[in-house]
């Protein structure tokens, strides 16, 4: 049971890592020159057009980042260490030798699913963060409106008091 909690914690940390990676790729100053270059060359090159479209979308950026890092690495390691063989053998309770093609397909499917799950978690974190930001902006606008109304009311009261004071002085 402890292993499950560690696996969930690792999955959660990966989601945050890929969310932050996507934010840095899309908005970070360190990749500013790269984004500018890609945007300038987007009409000339298909690769630059692909990167330009990807860097404009949080889900696309997180998905591509997780596919090319988690997906490729887990596919290669899963196939090299025969993880599908071991998983099927453990489930069956006896030693099972899968054909190489089946191992490859199962390794690819697991790697793809893991990559998409991490990208989906990054997207969920983005939704929560965006929702909080929208709520903050709405509260900021409401607060500014209340402040303007209070200042208007205070200035109206001050004008009225000044007019009464002028009348009393005359």
35-82 pLDDT, tens digit per residue, is 999 999 988 988 999 999 989 888 899 999 999 999 999 999 988 898
Q: Does residue 159 have a pLDDT over 80?
A: no
Number of domains composing the chain: 1
Whole-number pLDDT of residue 170: 47
Whole-number pLDDT of residue 167: 54
Q: What is the mean pLDDT of the chain?
A: 87
Whole-number pLDDT of residue 164: 59
DSSP code, position 98: -
Whole-number pLDDT of residue 162: 58
14 touches 120 (CB < 8 A): no
User: Which pair of structure tokens corresponds to residue 90?
Assistant: 């453990």
Whole-number pLDDT of residue 31: 93
Q: Give the phi and the psi of residue 167 in degrees, each rounded to 5.
A: -65, -40
Higher pLDDT, 64 or 1: 64
Over the stretch 81-110, which tens digit does the pLDDT of each residue have?
988 888 888 888 898 888 989 999 999 999
Whole-number pLDDT of residue 32: 93
Higher pLDDT, 65 or 3: 65
| C-alpha dihedral, 27 to 28 to 32 to 36, nearest 10° | -20
Whether the pTM exceeds 0.75: the reply is no
Residue 19 belongs to domain spanning: 2-169
């Amino acid at each position: 049971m402890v292993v499950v909690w560690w696996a969930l914690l690792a999955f959660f940390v990966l989601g945050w890592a890929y969310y932050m990676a996507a934010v840095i790729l899309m908005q970070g100053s360190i990749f500013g020159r790269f984004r500018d270059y890609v945007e300038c060359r987007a009409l000339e090159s298909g690769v630059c057009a692909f990167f330009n479209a990807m860097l404009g979308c949080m889900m696309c950026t997180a998905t591509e980042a997780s596919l090319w890092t988690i997906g490729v690495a887990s596919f290669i390691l899963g196939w090299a260490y025969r993880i599908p063989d071991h998983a099927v053998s453990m489930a069956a309770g006896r030693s099972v030798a899968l054909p190489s093609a089946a191992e490859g397909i199962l390794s690819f499917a697991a790697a793809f699913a893991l990559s998409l799950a991490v990208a989906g978690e990054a997207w969920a974190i983005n939704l929560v963060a965006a929702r909080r930001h929208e709520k903050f902006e709405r509260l900021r606008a409401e607060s500014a409106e209340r402040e303007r109304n209070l200042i208007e009311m205070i200035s109206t009261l001050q004008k009225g008091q000044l007019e009464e004071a002028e009348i009393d002085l005359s």
